[in-house]
Amino acid sequence: MSSEQLAPAVDNFLGKTATVKKLDIQPNRDISSDLLFLSEQVAHISGTWNPVEIYTADGAKREEEKKKFLDAFDRGEEYNPTFEYSYANSLDLANSREYLLQRLSGVRTFKPQNRGERLYRAALYFKIKDDVATCDLVDGIKTKDDKKIAAAVRQKYLGTDKSLMDLAEAIYKEKTNSGETDEAEGNGLLTEDEKKYLREREFKAQDIKDAFEFVLDRYGILRSESNNRGFKVKIDDNASGIDVRDKSAEQQTVFIPTDRKMNGITLLGAIAHEIEGHAIQAMNGIDLYVGLGGGPLKIDDEQLYEGYGIKREADMKKKLLGANDPGPRPYYPFAVKMAEDGASFYDIFKDQLERHLRVSLKKPKDEDLPSYQNIDQKNLNTARSNAWLVAYRVMRGHIDTSNAEKYAMAKDLGYVRGFQMDTQLAENGYGYVNESGIIAPKALQLIAELNISEEMLPLPFVDATTAYWEEILKPQMTQEDTIP
């Protein structure tokens, strides 16, 4: 793959790995106690802040607005929903912002004595800037100032670019091709009967929680009364999707929506993505990068983080199903680009509904879609629900969803951009770098100077997803088969 095809951060990383003498840095030995103390102070100030919690709209109000929106849509009326953010409005971060600026000044004036300290100082600097943007995000929501929210969001998350949109367009074109299926299966570990069992069995929120806890426990990172290291799992009414939060008001927690249901194939994918991807990546980063790659000190831009989760999910499908996974869903880049151009919630929903229907019905852009009356109702309802979810997630944090300030919540671009970057790293023999922690794309250039190897990973991959199938689900299937 030529450098012209690489995302800039990966290109810069690969360039540095070839030209920079690697540093054998041991943070507890090579990083000044003064600098580490500054990082501890930052963690104390902002270590429980998770922007997802801040810009997640209240669940009851969100469902009320969803119904109003869809009812209006069915009547042919344009309606842009209004959301409420009780958690953000409960926060007062004005003093925290001042404390962070004081620490930022301390980082600026700190005189590094070696290259390791310079790298750590740079990473901490960008971490504090990210936290200051979080303060501005909260203040913008509280004062109903979309302009301030927009500035904070742009500081925290990368927006779209041409290479990303070209990739999204290519994936979308492939997924609307009538010859493509979402799971082109070959010879995997599972038999056809086992696949059928998993597809037909429904797992509810508590079942998902049990599965996640099994895998976390297998890695020794299930938080409990006897183990204060790792994640707990919580079923939550306000969660709009499964979310692994290593920064949270409730410490490290995996959140599951109360009404979440899925079949067994999707459950195994979720285990691989959320736990053996995100949770393990976070714990590795805490240990390897003295907290700056996970936990209270991580940066909120999760592009590479999402790419690693998708990689783990794709690897699981290949092993168990023999599936050549088609890659990430391409919907978010289109929605974010529309929002950046000033599209309203309503406009984004309409575009997303068409895109989801075209993928579902295998109808390329040059073919007409059938009328809604001629589309299977279940299929139509699924497309409507998915289109609403994408529009909502891209409009999270907005006060005015007509979007006069022309901005997007761009966090979910990581599903496509992160996949692209993780693939490029793996193709060049550096896939383990993404496994080593939650890394902001620009931080790759810093990591290129560290002597990180795959053998250094504190929690190497053990494939607990397959273990969950073999030790828990497969015996349950056998037991059900023997019941008269």
Average pLDDT, integer, range 362-390: 94
Residue 1's pLDDT band, with cuts at 50, 70 and 90, is very low
Of the two residues 33 and 258, the one the predictor is more confident about is 258
Rounded Cα gap, residues 138 and 152, in angstroms = 9
> What is residue 180's predicted lDDT score, i.e. its pLDDT?
52
C-beta of residue 58 within 8 angstroms of C-beta of residue 83: yes
> How is residue 46 written in tokens?
């902002």
> What is residue 309's predicted lDDT score, i.e. its pLDDT?
93
Over residues 63-115, the pLDDT tens digits come to: 999 999 999 999 999 999 999 999 999 999 999 999 999 999 999 999 998 88
Angle between helices 146-156 and 115-142 (to 10 degrees): 160
Buried/exposed code over 262-297 (b: 16+ C-beta within 10 A; e: otherwise): bebbebbbbbbbbbbbbbbbbbbbbbbbbbbbbbbb
What residues does 199 pair with on adjacent strands?
none
Over residues 452-481, the pLDDT tens digits come to: 889 889 999 999 999 999 999 999 998 765
Q: Which of 147-151, 289-293, 320-324, 363-367 has the highest mean pLDDT?
A: 147-151
> How is residue 89 written in tokens?
């409005």
> How is residue 42 written in tokens?
């930052």
pLDDT mean across residues, the chain: 90
Residue 241 has pLDDT above 80, yes or no: yes
> What is residue 2's predicted lDDT score, i.e. its pLDDT?
40
Angle between helices 345-361 and 377-394 (to 10 degrees): 140
Of the two residues 288 and 183, the one the predictor is more confident about is 288
Instruction: Give the predicted TM-score (pTM) of the model.
Output: 0.84
Over residues 384-431, the pLDDT tens digits come to: 999 999 999 999 999 999 999 999 999 999 889 888 899 889 999 999
Over residues 328-362, the pLDDT tens digits come to: 889 999 999 999 999 999 999 999 999 999 999 99
Sign, CA torsion 449/453/454/456? negative
Residue 251's pLDDT band, with cuts at 50, 70 and 90, is confident
Q: Which of 261, 162, 171, 157 is nearest to 209 (CA)?
A: 261
**CA 20: distance to chain centroid?**
31
Of 280-289, 290-299, 308-317, 345-354, give the lowest mean pLDDT range: 290-299
Residue 212's pLDDT band, with cuts at 50, 70 and 90, is very high
Q: For the purposes of burial, counting CB atoms within 10 Å of the CB of 201, is it exposed (0-12), middle (13-18) or buried (19 or more)?
A: middle
pLDDT above 90 covers a percentage of the chain that reads 65
Q: Which of 197, 267, 211, 132 is nearest to 477 (CA)?
A: 197
Residue 178 has pLDDT above 70, yes or no: no
> How is residue 11 written in tokens?
């290109």
| The residue count for the chain | 484
Supply the DSSP symbol for 250. Answer: T
Average pLDDT, integer, range 145-169: 94
In which residue are the tokens 């290479």 written? Answer: 163
Residue 181 has pLDDT above 70, yes or no: no
For residue 233, the surrounding DSSP H or E stretch is: strand 232-236
Phi-psi region of 198 (alpha: psi -120 to 50; beta: other; left: phi over 0): alpha
Of 45-59, 174-188, 231-245, give the lowest mean pLDDT range: 174-188
C-alpha distances in angstroms, 462 versus 195, 394, 429, 467, 483?
22, 34, 20, 9, 33
Residue 292's pLDDT band, with cuts at 50, 70 and 90, is confident
Residue 338: partners with Cβ closer than 8 Å, 6 or more residues away: 347, 348, 351
Residue 440's pLDDT band, with cuts at 50, 70 and 90, is confident
> How is residue 225 written in tokens?
């009364």
> What is residue 179's predicted lDDT score, i.e. its pLDDT?
58
Q: What angle do CA 460, 465, 467 make, to 5 degrees?
A: 95
C-beta of residue 288 within 8 angstroms of C-beta of residue 28: no
Q: Which of 25-29, 79-83, 242-246 has the highest mean pLDDT?
A: 79-83
**What backbone phi and psi angles, to 5 degrees, belong to 257?**
-60, 140
Alpha carbon distance, N-terminus to C-terminus of the chain:
57
Rounded Cα gap, residues 401 and 387, in angstroms = 15
Rounded Cα gap, residues 358 and 365, in angstroms = 8
Rounded Cα gap, residues 123 and 289, in angstroms = 10
Q: For the purposes of burial, counting CB atoms within 10 Å of the CB of 237, is it exposed (0-12), middle (13-18) or buried (19 or more)?
A: exposed
Residue 182 has pLDDT above 90, yes or no: no
> What is residue 3's predicted lDDT score, i.e. its pLDDT?
41
**CA 431: distance to chain centroid?**
18
What residues does 413 pair with on adjacent strands?
none
